[in-house]
Amino acid sequence: MHPLVAATPTPVHPLPRLAKALGLEPEQLWVKREDLTGLAGGGNKARKLQHFMSEALSGGYRVLVTGGGPQSNHARMTAAAAAMNGLGCVLVLRRPETEDLSGNLLLDRMLGAQIHWVDPIPFAALNQSIVDIAGAHTQKAYPIPIGGSSLPGAIAYAQVAQELSTQLTFDLVVVANGSGGTQAGLAAGLGDHARVAGVNVGAQDGIDAFVTDLAAQAAAALGLPTPNGAAQIDHGRIGLAYGVPTKECEEALLLVARTEGLLLDPVYTGKAMAGLIAWARHGRLDGKRVVFVHTGGLPGLLSTRYTQWMGAALVDS
């Protein structure tokens, strides 16, 4: 067995054409390419999985158990990490209206994961199902929370914040907030919640307190001061529900693709970029150097549901 190693450090580069389109100066807008971490298509979960895999391997576990939505990026990357190390993998996924084998779900199956479908249940109940299924497994099974959003995952992104600080001087980081661990870790590493703007994509309730508390835990684990303030989260970009793209998200995907050749996804990064675009247009980013954290997610865009949505949008674009 070999522990998972993400392809790091990930690059940071400017987005001058997008900046111009938003009325910003060319050097104001940058992207941290966490989509290039290299594990089964890349994404921010590779950083977190390095920590979880270390614990699982040292503890003699034979199976990884995690979960999420049917197009979960975290599930796909956990399945890949398990395959790399000869471990089994069980994915506890919320049952969709149609079990279409495309996008991340197709990759889950290719990577050998066993799918355990559950009815659409709340976030906390799904996390409990992961723990219960791991406990009942016939082999020693290691439960990983949805999105890897617990202390090890937050520690991983506190370290990313420190990596980013060696690459660039900046004022603000913008990131999608699904299960909260990435934003919490970034705030812990930077020492100030005001320097991290999260965009809520609607995955769970009570996310503000969760991020604030987890950031404090991650900072303490690393011997860092508790971050100043409380989590800064934009709740206005969710739309109808988690996973349901918005018109703002559609605009963000097309604008970023056509100005920078950068591909976002409709569940996480598209909604996060929609938030950034709105803030720029309302003057909230004036005079600031901003880094957008690209957390990955491209396979989700290639699921049948979202290719049909984007295909319809392209007819009029």
**pLDDT tens-digit series, residues 25-78:** 999 999 999 999 999 999 999 999 998 999 999 999 999 999 999 999 999 999
Spatial separation of the C-alpha atoms in residues 217 and 254, rounded to whole Å: 38
Q: Whats the size of the chain, residue-wise? A: 317
Q: What is the mean pLDDT of each run of 10 residues along the chain (317 residues)?
A: 78 98 97 96 94 93 96 96 96 83 95 95 93 97 92 94 98 96 97 98 92 98 98 97 95 98 97 98 97 97 94 87
Phi, psi of 245 (to 5 degrees): -70, 155
Please tell me the pTM assigned to this model. Answer: 0.95
Q: How far is CA 200 from the centre of its chain?
A: 11
Query: By C-alpha distance, which of 59, 67, 50 is closest to 133?
Result: 67
DSSP letter string, 202-232: SS-SSHHHHHHHHHHHHHHHTTPPPPBS--E
Q: Report whether 219 contacts 153 (CB < 8 A).
A: no
Query: What is residue 1's predicted lDDT score, i.e. its pLDDT?
Result: 52
Q: Residue 128 corresponds to which tokens in the numbers above?
A: 């409990």
Q: Report whether 156 contacts 82 (CB < 8 A).
A: no
Query: What is residue 148's predicted lDDT score, i.e. its pLDDT?
Result: 86
Query: What is residue 99's predicted lDDT score, i.e. its pLDDT?
Result: 67
Spatial separation of the C-alpha atoms in residues 66 and 193, rounded to whole Å: 28
Q: Strand pairing of 172-177 and 196-200?
A: parallel
In order of their start, the domains of the chain are: 12-42+149-315 (3.40.50.1100), 45-148 (3.40.50.1100)
Query: What is residue 209's predicted lDDT score, i.e. its pLDDT?
Result: 96
Burial track 30-46 (b if 16+ CB lie within 10 A, e otherwise): bbbbbbbbebbbbbbbb
Spatial separation of the C-alpha atoms in residues 30 and 169, rounded to whole Å: 11
Q: Report whether 193 contacts 230 (CB < 8 A).
A: yes
CA-CA distances (angstroms) from residue 217 to 15, 84, 153, 157, 185?
33, 30, 11, 13, 9
Residues with catalytic function: 72
Query: What is residue 97's predicted lDDT score, i.e. its pLDDT?
Result: 67
Query: What is residue 2's predicted lDDT score, i.e. its pLDDT?
Result: 58
Query: What is residue 130's predicted lDDT score, i.e. its pLDDT?
Result: 97
Amino acid at 148: G
Instruction: Name 172's bridge partners.
Output: 290
DSSP letter string, 244-281: ---HHHHHHHHHHHHHH-----TTTHHHHHHHHHHHHH
Query: By C-alpha distance, which of 122, 106, 111 is closest to 64?
Result: 111
> Could you report the per-residue pLDDT of 127-139, keeping only the tens digit for each?
999 999 999 999 9
